[in-house]
Amino acid sequence: MGLVTLSEAPSRHPRRSSETLPKDTEKGDVKEYLEGLVAETTFEMTTEDKLTTQWDMNAAITVEQEHNDPETVQKLNNLLSERATTLAQMEVTLSALKQEVSIKAGVDKERLEREIVDHEVRVEKEKAGKAEVEHALEAVEDGTAARDEVRKREQERMHEIGKVHRCIVSSPE
């Protein structure tokens, strides 16, 4: 089974505003839909590009809750492990860059200082991504919280739509 890209997902699986599939969707289609939600973010490191997989957390939580797909929890655990490993590698690289800059001078030192700043930004983004995975995993493990969180977001969205609708209806033309 091939991956469904985000651009292909709408044509193969109708996406609703809550990013869920109909409850009667086949299990294989749910897995394919989940695979289609995977987005890749590349973090350029000093000597190589490191590929980190980033999930659409809300959709993963919703699909897991509505379809009781235990593989979602396993995938989130794997993603958390991958992010922790990537973060550790990035922090080691950052430490090495900081040591190297202390012995360099001139143009090399300036280049390394810029590289350190860029790398620190990538480390912070990876930390945020890891925290997002941890939050999603906690929400999935506490099913009630996940359902409530999805419902709350849906209610907020509907409230915003209602405000826009009331504004349009009440505006004199």
Query: What's the whole-number mean pLDDT along residues 106-113?
Result: 86
Q: What pLDDT score does 132 carry?
A: 83
pLDDT tens, position by position, 40-85: 333 333 334 443 444 455 566 666 665 556 777 777 788 888 888 8
Q: What DSSP designation does 56 have? A: -
Query: What's the whole-number mean pLDDT along residues 114-137?
Result: 86
Position 66, amino acid? E
Q: What DSSP designation does 4 have? A: P
Q: What pLDDT score does 68 carry?
A: 57
pLDDT tens, position by position, 138-160: 766 666 565 666 777 777 777 77
CA dihedral 82, 19, 68, 142 (to 10 degrees): 70
Both tokens of 132, joined, read: 């997002």
Q: Where are the domains of the chain?
A: 9-170
| Predicted TM-score (pTM) of this structure | 0.44
Is residue 11 predicted with pLDDT exceeding 60? no
